[in-house]
A and B are shown apart, each in its own frame.
Chain A
Amino acid sequence: MTAEAAKPPLAVADGGQPLLRIRGIKKYFPVRRGFLQRVIGYVKAVDGVDLDVGHGETLGLVGESGCGKSTLGRSILRLIEPTEGTIEFEGRNITKLDRRHMKPVRADMQIIFQDPVGSLNPRMSVGDIVGEGLLVHGMKDRKKRQKIIRDILEKVGLRQEYANRYPHEFSGGQRQRIGIARALALSPKLIIADEPVSALDVSIQSQVLNLLVDLRKEFGLTYIFVAHNLAVVSYISDRVAVMYLGQVMELADAEELYKNPLHPYTQSLLSAIPQPDPDHPRNRTVLTGDVPSPFNPPSGCPFRTRCPLAREKGTQNGICAEERPPLIEKRVPGHFAACHFA
Chain B
Amino acid sequence: MATDLLRVQDLVTEFRTDDGVVHAVDGVSFNIRQGQTLGLVGESGCGKSVTALSIMGLIEHPGTIAGGHIMFEGKDLVGLNQEEIRHVRGKEIAMIFQEPMTSLNPVYTVGDQIAEMARLHLHMDRKHAWEHAIEMLRTVKIPSPEKRVSDYPHHMSGGMRQRVMIAMAISCTPKLLIADEPTTALDVTIQAQILDLLRDLQREFQMSILMITHDLGVVAEICENVVVMYAGKVVEEAPVRGIFNSPQHPYTEGLLRSIPHLGMTSAAKLAVIKGTVPSAMNWPPGCRFAPRCSLRFEKCVEDPPLFDVGGQQSACWLNESGRRATSKRVVKAGEL
- On A, residues with C-beta under 8 Å from B are 64-65, 171, 173-174, 201-207, 209-210, 213, 228, 230-232, 234-236, 254-255, 258-259, 268-280, 282, 284, 286-288, 290-291
Contact B217 A276 (CB under 8 A): yes
By a CB distance below 8 angstroms, the chain B residues around A201 are 43-44, 214, 277
* Interface members, chain B 240-277 (any A CB < 8 Å): 240-241, 244, 254-256, 258-266, 269-274, 276-277
Question: Cβ of B188 and Cβ of A64 under 8 Å apart?
Answer: yes
How close is B139's CB to chain A, nearest CB, in angstroms? 17
Identify the stretch in B55-63, B113-121, B191-199 within 8 Å (CB) of chain A at 4 or more residues.
B191-199
Q: In whole Å, how far is A318's beta carbon from the nearest beta carbon of chain B?
A: 24
From known contacts A207-B272, A290-B159, infer whether A235 and B43 are also in contact, taking CB-CB under 8 Å. no
Choose one: A171, A230, A271, A276; the contact of B256 (CB below 8 Å). A276
Pick out which of these stretches binds chain A: B8-16, B86-94, B218-226. Answer: B218-226
Does chain A have a CB within 8 A of B82? Answer: no
Please indicate the chain A residues that have their CB under 8 angstroms from the CB of B196 in the complex. 286
**CB distance A210 to B192 under 8 Å?**
no
Could you say which of B44, B219, B270, B274 contacts A209, with CB atoms under 8 Å apart? Answer: B270
CB distance from A231 to the nearest CB of B (A): 5
Query: Would you call the interface of chain A mostly helix, strand, loop, or mixed?
Result: helix
A206-B273, A272-B189, A278-B220 known; 15 new pairs, CB 8 Å cut-off, are A202-B43, A203-B255, A204-B276, A254-B265, A271-B192, A273-B262, A274-B221, A276-B220, A278-B241, A278-B244, A280-B333, A286-B196, A287-B189, A287-B192, A291-B187
Q: In the complex the two chains form, what is the Cα distance from A242 to B187 in whole Å?
A: 14
**Which of B160, B191, B196, B220 counts the most chain A CB atoms within 10 A?**
B220
Query: Which B residues lie within 8 Å of A254 (CB)?
Result: 265
Minimum Cβ distance to chain B for residue A267 (Å): 11
Q: List 27 A-B contacts (CB under 8 A).
A: A64-B190, A65-B187, A202-B43, A202-B214, A202-B255, A203-B254, A203-B273, A203-B277, A205-B258, A206-B260, A206-B272, A210-B270, A210-B272, A230-B188, A235-B270, A259-B334, A268-B189, A272-B188, A272-B191, A272-B192, A273-B188, A274-B192, A275-B221, A276-B329, A279-B241, A282-B221, A290-B190
**B299 proximity list for chain A (CB < 8 A):** none
Q: Find chain B residues with CB under 8 A from A64 CB.
A: 187-190
B122: interface (CB < 8 Å): no
Is residue B332 contacting chain A, with contact meaning CB distance below 8 A?
yes
CA distance A279 to B240 in the complex (A): 10
Of the candidates A201, A230, A236, A284, the one having the most CB atoms from chain B within 10 angstroms of its own CB is A201
Residues in chain B near residue A231, CB distance under 8 A: 259-262, 264
| Least distance between A296 CB and chain B CB atoms (Å) | 14
Q: Which residue of A lies closest to B254 (CB)?
A: A203
The digit string for B37-59, where 1 denotes a CB below 8 A from any CB of A, is: 00000011000000000000000
Chain A hits for B215, CB < 8 A: 274
Contacts of B220 in A (CB 8 A): 274-278, 280
- Asked if A276 meets B259 with Cβ closer than 8 Å, knowing A235-B264, A290-B157, A290-B160, the reply is yes
A207, B254: Cα distance in complex, Å:
12
**Which listed residue (B244, B269, B274) contacts A276, Cβ 8 A?**
B244
Q: What CA separation (Å) do A206 and B255 show in the bound complex?
A: 9
* Cα(A258)–Cα(B214), bound, Å: 24
Residues of B within 8 A of A284 (CB): 192
Q: Give complex CA distance A282, B274 in Å.
A: 33
CB-CB under 8 A from B187, the residues of chain A are 64-65, 228, 291
CB distance from A191 to the nearest CB of B (A): 15
Across the interface, A277 reaches (CB within 8 A) one of B244, B264, B269, B270, namely B244
Which of A210, A232, A277 interacts with B333 by CB under 8 Å? Answer: A277
Within 8 A of A (CB), among B47-85: none
Is B216 positioned at the interface, with any CB of A under 8 Å from its CB?
A: yes
Distance A206 CA – B219 CA, assembled complex (angstroms) = 19
A173 neighbours in B (Cβ, 8 Å)? 276
B259 touching A278, Cβ below 8 Å: no
Question: Given the complex, which residues of B lie within 8 Å of A206, measured CB to CB?
Answer: 258-260, 270-273
Q: Chain A residues near B269: list those with CB within 8 A.
A: 210, 213
Smallest CB–CB gap between A274 and chain B, Å?
A: 3
The answer to whether B260 and A235 touch across the interface, beta carbons within 8 angstroms, is yes
